[in-house]
Each structure stands twice: as C-alpha cells, then as structure tokens.
Amino acid sequence: MALKTRFTETFGVEHPVVQGGMQWVGRAELVAGVANAGGLGFITALTQPTPDDLRREIDRCRKLTDKPFGVNLTILPAINPPPYAEYRQAIIDSGVKIVETAGYKPQEHVDHFKEHGIKVLHKCTAVRHALSAERMGVDGISIDGFECAGHPGEDDVPGLILIPAAADKVKIPMIASGGFGDARGLVAALALGADGINMGTRFMCTVESPIHQKIKEQIVANDERATDLIFRTMHNTSRVAKNAVSQQVVAMEKEGAKFEDVRELVAGSRGRSVYEIGDQDAGIWSAGMVQGLIHDIPTCADLITRIVREAEEIIQGRLAGMVAKKAMATA
C-alpha cells in the first residue's frame, strides 16, 4: 500500500506525508515515529540550544530509526541571529541527507548543502518565493497556505488557490502545507497539483509528539476557529492557538502596540512552557485551523497508515466510481 509521487521518488520515502520542522516539537522521538511509518520527519535545528546539541539529537534519532529523516533549518532576520553556519555544519558533519530550509534568503545554505549531496526542500508561502528557491537549486518546494500554523506570510492566499497557482509554475516536486490532517486533504492536494502533504499541527497530536498530553487534548477539543493572527500590524503575521495571551496581544495591537510592548507576552520561553507544563494559557503556541479536523491522538504509524489507506479508497472508490457512472451514463 503506497502512493508513488515525484516527491517520494526524489526524497526516497515510502509515503508522500511530511512532518515539517516545528519549534520545540520537532524532536527525535517524533521524527523517528514518522520515519518508521514511512513518512519524512524533520528535527528542528533551532530547538536545540547549540550545534553540538543538534548533533546529539541527530544521533538520538538514528538510534530510534534506520529510515530517512531530515533536519529543518529556519533562517529569520534577527538582531542577534543564531550561528546558522555552525548549525549547518553540524547537519553536514552528521551525515544527514535531507534538509528543510525556511525563511530568509537561504542561498548560502542551499549552496553548501548541495556541495555535500544533501537534498533540500524549501518551505515558502508565495509562488514568487517558490520560483526563487527553484532558481537557487533546491530539490523540492513546500508551499504553505494561509490556513497554516506559524508564519503564513502577508498575502493571505489559502491553499485552494496557492497550491494550483504554484503547480502551474514550479517544475520540481512540490508538497502542500497548511490545513492538512487527513486523507481527504492528501487527495485534494494531489488533485491540485502537489506531490504530497506537509502536516504540523496534526503531528503535534500524536502519541510520539513530545508535548504535554493536556495540549494534545486541547487540540482535539478545539475547532477550526480556535486560532488567532498576531503581529498583523507589524507585517510579521503568525497564526497561533487562540488563548488568553493571544487575545491580549490582538487587543493590544488594535490599540497600536509595538513589538516592544508585547515582547514579554510572546517570549519563546513562555511558549515552550505550554508544551512542558500543559497550561495552554502559559504563553503563545502554534496551531493551525486544521484543529477542527483532529479528533484523536494516534501513533504516527496509525495516522500515516490511515491517511494513505483512506486516500487510496477515495481515489479508487468514490472518485473512480464517479468517472465510471459518467461513462455508463454517456454509453
């Protein structure tokens, strides 16, 4: 049972299902769970405090799986940026063969990774950025629609438009991200021209996900309206789970607050504590609109198996049946 696409062939995985990088969540146990189930998981490099910690996390993942997995390196403008080149070198030294890049102008990183035979999947939120990454020489694109958790960009284009718009122009393998959590989404993504799907929030809500059980249960309880868009006024939009803190930030932005005014509320350390102590109002934490489609907390193996099986049933059953009925009607 498998769906073969350009993505699975290029990146050497069994199923066209990806667990992208997620701050504080993309750790070895989750990544290995996805890999062992035939998907492609990514360790989040900057979740690890130092490049040496990243080396140790990669080693830990290797002890849990012998399947392919990758590392996410997100490049964001900052006053005091992390040592990206050192994290990059740690990835290369560790023999990782797949990297997910995201963020700001990854050219030097792409070039260095490619020199070492590493395949690069670049995550972006606009067709123009996808085409720029394709020119940089990446091996695949992950196109992220407005529904996604985290940073959806400033264009506000949902997946139903963004995915086919990108598919019309991008020539390399492309996976769809933002709002995906089940077989229906996978089939829809394939129909829209993508070669697979990336899921973040859905993988947060699995047995192997290294976050507090209460947060997993909160995701199950939430519906598709349970997100807020913060930093809209600062042109750095972020979709997060709706809670007391996000509502306060939105209210302050409406009153003209600047980043300095909300800095303490949105501190990463507070967001991390949400996952550690299970208090959903302890800080800002990322979750997408797909919460409305999440109704259980399965293992990664059960989730991926179910998605692929049900996708095949939709393609071979319901959709094929529609074509057969049409053919009979015109006979």
The CA-CA-CA angle for residues 296, 301, 303, to 5°, reads 35
Based on the fold, state whether residues 60 and 185 are members of the same structural domain: yes
Q: Do 55 and 154 share a structural domain?
A: yes
Residue 36 sits in the same domain as residue 173 = yes
Q: Taking 70 as the threshold, does the pLDDT of residue 164 lie above it?
A: yes
**Structure-block tokens of residue 169:** 């122009």
- Whether 199 and 236 map to the same domain: the answer is no
Dist CA 27 CA 32 (whole Å): 9
On whether both 150 and 48 belong to a single domain, the answer is yes
CB within 8 Å of 163: residues ≥ 6 apart = 143, 145, 176, 189, 192, 193, 194
Query: For 51, phi and psi rounded to 5 degrees?
Result: -60, -35
The answer on 223 and 163 residing in a single domain is no
Is residue 17 domain-resident? yes
Cβ proximity of 226 and 218 under 8 Å: no
- Burial class from Cβ neighbours inside 10 Å (0-12, 13-18, 19+) for residue 212 reads middle
- Any bridge partners for residue 177, and if so which? 144, 198
Domain of residue 147 covers: 6-204
Place 104 in a pLDDT band, splitting at 50, 70 and 90: confident
Number of domains in the chain: 2
Q: What angle do CA 12, 190, 44 make, to 5 degrees?
A: 50
In a domain, 1, yes or no: no
- Among 165, 183, 204, where does a domain finish? 204
Residue 266 — pLDDT band, cuts 50, 70, 90? very high
* CA distances from residue 82 to 26, 77, 169, 229 in whole angstroms, order as listed: 18, 10, 34, 26
Last residue of a domain, one of 159, 176, 204: 204
pLDDT tens-digit map of 48-88: 999 999 999 999 999 999 999 999 999 987 778 999 999 99
Q: What CA–CA distance (Å, rounded) separates 150 from 284?
A: 11
Residue count (the chain): 331
Of 185, 213, 216, 208, residue with least CA distance to 287: 216
Does a structural domain hold residue 327? no
Do 64 and 25 belong together in one domain? yes
Cα–Cα distance measured from residue 280 to residue 283, given in angstroms and rounded to the nearest whole number? 7
Q: Is residue 324 part of a domain?
A: no
Q: What is the pLDDT of residues 26-49, one digit of tens each?
A: 999 999 999 999 999 999 999 999
Residue 114 lies in a domain: yes
Q: What percent of the chain has pLDDT over 90?
A: 94
Cβ partners under 8 Å of residue 212, min gap 6 = 274, 275, 276, 277, 278
DSSP assignment of 174-209, as one string? EEEESS--SHHHHHHHHHTT-S-EEESHHHHTSTT-
Task: Please check whether residues 262 and 164 belong to one and the same domain.
Answer: no
Tell whether 149 and 20 lie within a shared domain.
yes
CATH of residue 86: 3.20.20.70
Same-domain pairing of 89 and 133? yes
**Residue 178, in any domain of the structure:** yes
What mean pLDDT value characterizes the chain?
Answer: 96
Looking at the fold, whether 159 and 243 belong to one and the same domain comes out as no
What does the pLDDT read at residue 331?
A: 60
Check residue 291 and give its pLDDT: 98
53-75 as b/e: b if 16+ CB within 10 A: ebbebbeebeebbebbbbbbbbb
Q: Please report the pLDDT score of residue 215 as a whole number.
A: 98
pTM: 0.95
Tell which residue, 278, 277, 303, 126, has the closest CA to residue 205. 303
pLDDT in tens, 246-262: 999 999 999 999 999 99
Are 199 and 50 found together in one domain? yes
Closest CA to 114 of 128, 101, 129: 101
